[in-house]
Amino acid sequence: MSVQPISSPTETVFLSMFLCQRCPAGTRTTKHSMGFCSLSNIAMADRHGEDSPYFAGWKAYDLNPYHPICNPTGIIQMGLAENQVGTDLLEEWLDKHSDIPSWKGTRTSFKEVALYQDYHGLAEFRKALASFMAEVRGGRVRINPDNIVLTAGATAGNEIITFCIADPGEALLVPTPYYPGFDRDLRWRTGVDIVPVKCYSSNNFEVTLPALERAYQEEINNKKSMKAILITNPSNPLGLTISPQTLTTILDFAAEKSIHVISDEVYAGTVFSSQPFTSILEIIQTSNRYDPETVHVVYSLSKDLGLPGFRIGAIFSSNPKIITASRRMSSFSLISSQTQVLLKCLLSDGGFIKRYLNTVKERLRRRHEEFVKGLKEIGIECLEGDSGLFSWVNLRKLLASGDWDSEMKLWIVILEDIGLNISPGRSFHCEEPGWFRVCFGNMSDDDMNVALGRIRLFLASRKHEEDTNLLPRPEAPLGVGGTCAACLVDAEQQAESLTS
Ligand SMILES: Cc1ncc(COP(=O)(O)O)c(C=O)c1O
């Protein structure tokens, strides 16, 4: 067991993930010490990937969340890819349809949702989801509801499709930088390995044939069996769609190597550029060059509809064996019937869905434009994005040196001294230090402007200050600080519930 002292508050949060409950405070272990009743290797293995700054930043935020009135010097959460720009529209719709599901009316009987559901999900919900998925893809794809397997979010969908395609020790190719959750979802319980397809800023991190060949060959030399390539389109963290040409390159490569293609399209409805989004389904359905049974899409309503708490996901595949096996596995992660009933009604309201999608895209476009412009004004460049809830920001010039250590140090300074939780590129397996993913879809315009103001102040101070670790946190504006009405109500209610 190696023991090291712990230093800064952020490091404490980060390292607490490795703390053994039995060891004295202030020490950490690199090996889990077991008692007499041992646990499974799968549960204890560190393949879950959650020991990264991506997740540590969320914990740091939870300990000191920003609030414009109650905690104006707190941490602003810019590390969570949440779509809150259309929440008001959903609330409006729910207000108008507060009778759904109504047990008294004829619409849905209580029994229908209270008793066991068949793991195919409610047929009407699958039908509504299929037409929503087609709508988000510009109406240019055919989605047969029978080829949809419902899962509790894309997290479960990605794990299930991996379980169906690969055995422990086999591998999936995944282009970098990629969503940190994949280390958990694709690898942890499945025992499957991720082989990175290394992409670089020189061509905007585009996937190329030589990069695919290099990754594939390396793993074949290591005697690994490669089963699939998993792409994310639009990409998290790049906030960029994959071009039809690159999709064709990927499909050709996969066909030549006889491997599957999985396309995670959870951000399909966030494309805000004038160029339409091209789903991989559009390409395989308009060409007879590819075997449709080898191409699978993972989707959810977490991002496009801003409903991550509802846990609604789906696997779409034209492969009957995959559909059957996925459906069996989905028993572990079903969506509650009540959620399906509510969402069936929402998704079947064609007029609302059109308005929602158009409004959200326009709001995201504007938010993205203002954010990128704000950064540009202070000399910070972003990758030119066209989608998503975040920007891929280049902070390389702020690194003390060009290595990973300095990226980590900058992340800690930004978290602790500026009070922004953004996510360092290393946690996305980026190959070049200095890139950060910064989310803008989970906050108000005002909060984003506060965040931009903090970055501006930080850069101005850096000009005069060599030692960035000593920078003061921006002060709360005079006269501000206290408790807002909403928090007062919360606090009073909490106090009441404690005394009652
Ligand atoms: C690319 C990608 N796939 C899957 C997920 C997980 O989505 P869900 O909340 O539907 O499980 C995320 C969440 O951030 C993501 O970015």
The full DSSP string for 164-206 is HH--TT-EEEEESS--THHIIIIIITT-PEEEEE---GGGTT-
* Range(s) of the domain holding residue 394: 53-86+358-470
- Looking at residue 484, its pLDDT comes to 46
- Going by pLDDT thresholds of 50, 70 and 90, the confidence category of residue 228 is very high
Q: Atom of ligand 1 at shortest distance to CA of 178?
A: 1
Q: Atom of ligand 1 at shortest distance to CA of 152?
A: 11
| Cα 494 to chain centroid, rounded | 32
Q: How many angstroms does the Cα of residue 311 sit away from the middle of ligand 1?
A: 10
Residue 382, CB half-sphere, CA atoms under 13 Å: how many?
A: 26
Q: Are residues 289 and 398 in the same domain?
A: no
Beta bridge mates, 194 = 172
Q: Are residues 403 and 307 in the same domain?
A: no
Q: How many angstroms does the Cα of residue 82 sit away from the middle of ligand 1?
A: 10
Rounded CA gap, 252 and 209, in Å? 10
Q: Are residues 317 and 381 in the same domain?
A: no
Q: Atom of ligand 1 at shortest distance to CA of 308?
A: 9
Residue tagged 């895209």 (tokens): 361
Tell me the mean pLDDT in the region 289-309.
98
Q: Are residues 178 and 192 in the same domain?
A: yes
Specify if 442 maps to a domain.
yes
Domain CATH for 417? 3.90.1150.10
- 136, 269 contact by CB (below 8 A): yes
| 10-24, 67-81, 215-229, 258-272: least confidently modelled range | 10-24
What are 323's two structure tokens?
A: 């559909």
Q: Is 266 in the pocket of ligand 1 (CB under 6 A)?
A: yes
Q: Are residues 335 and 362 in the same domain?
A: no
- Looking at residue 482, its pLDDT comes to 43
Higher pLDDT, 74 or 45: 74
- Looking at residue 113, its pLDDT comes to 87
Higher pLDDT, 27 or 437: 437
Proportion of the chain above pLDDT 90, given as a percent:
76
Q: Are residues 340 and 390 in the same domain?
A: no
| 9-13, 185-189, 341-345, 469-473: least confidently modelled range | 469-473
Q: How many angstroms does the Cα of residue 182 sit away from the middle of ligand 1?
A: 9
Specify if 391 maps to a domain.
yes
Domain final position from 336, 352, 368 = 352
What are 375's two structure tokens?
A: 């950064």
Specify if 43 maps to a domain.
no
- Tell which one of 303, 333, 335 to mutate to probe ligand 1, the residue whose CB is within 8 A of the most ligand atoms: 303
Q: How many angstroms does the Cα of residue 252 sit away from the middle of ligand 1?
A: 26
Q: Are residues 74 and 103 in the same domain?
A: no
Specify if 233 maps to a domain.
yes
What are 53's two structure tokens?
A: 């700054």
Residues 141-167 have pLDDT tens digits of 999 999 999 999 999 999 999 999 999
Specify if 327 maps to a domain.
yes
- Looking at residue 14, its pLDDT comes to 54
Tell me the mean pLDDT in the region 244-270.
98
Identify the H or E element spanning 405. Answer: helix 404-413
Q: Are residues 403 and 330 in the same domain?
A: no
Q: Are residues 214 and 326 in the same domain?
A: yes
Q: Are residues 170 and 59 in the same domain?
A: no
Rounded CA gap, 289 and 255, in Å? 9
Q: How many angstroms does the Cα of residue 181 sit away from the middle of ligand 1?
A: 7
Q: Is 154 in the pocket of ligand 1 (CB under 6 A)?
A: yes
Q: How many angstroms does the Cα of residue 155 sit away from the middle of ligand 1?
A: 6
Specify if 307 maps to a domain.
yes
- Residue 395's Cβ-count burial label (10 Å; 0-12, 13-18, 19+) is buried
> How many domains does the chain fold into?
3
Specify if 2 maps to a domain.
no
Q: How many angstroms does the Cα of residue 316 sit away from the middle of ligand 1?
A: 16
Higher pLDDT, 112 or 281: 281
Q: Is 263 in the pocket of ligand 1 (CB under 6 A)?
A: no
Alpha-helix residue ranges (DSSP H) falling in 244-349: 244-257, 280-285, 320-329, 337-348
What are 95's two structure tokens?
A: 């207000």
| Cα 160 to chain centroid, rounded | 17
Over its C-alpha atoms, the chain yields an Rg (Å, rounded) of 24
Nearest CA to ligand 1 atom 13: 81
Q: Are residues 401 and 253 in the same domain?
A: no
Q: Is 236 in the pocket of ligand 1 (CB under 6 A)?
A: yes
Q: Atom of ligand 1 at shortest distance to CA of 300?
A: 10
Q: Are residues 161 and 206 in the same domain?
A: yes
Domain CATH for 186? 3.40.640.10
Domain final position from 314, 331, 352 = 352
Q: Atom of ligand 1 at shortest distance to CA of 235?
A: 1
Closest CA to 269 of 137, 410, 362, 157: 137
Q: What is the mean pLDDT of the chain?
A: 88
Domain final position from 352, 374, 404 = 352
Rounded CA gap, 452 and 459, in Å? 11
- CA dist 380 → 73, 395, 397, 455, 469 (Å): 23, 7, 9, 10, 20
Q: How many CB atoms lie within 10 A of CB 122?
A: 22
- Tell which one of 178, 262, 300 to mutate to probe ligand 1, the residue whose CB is within 8 A of the most ligand atoms: 300
Nearest CA to ligand 1 atom 4: 154
Specify if 484 maps to a domain.
no
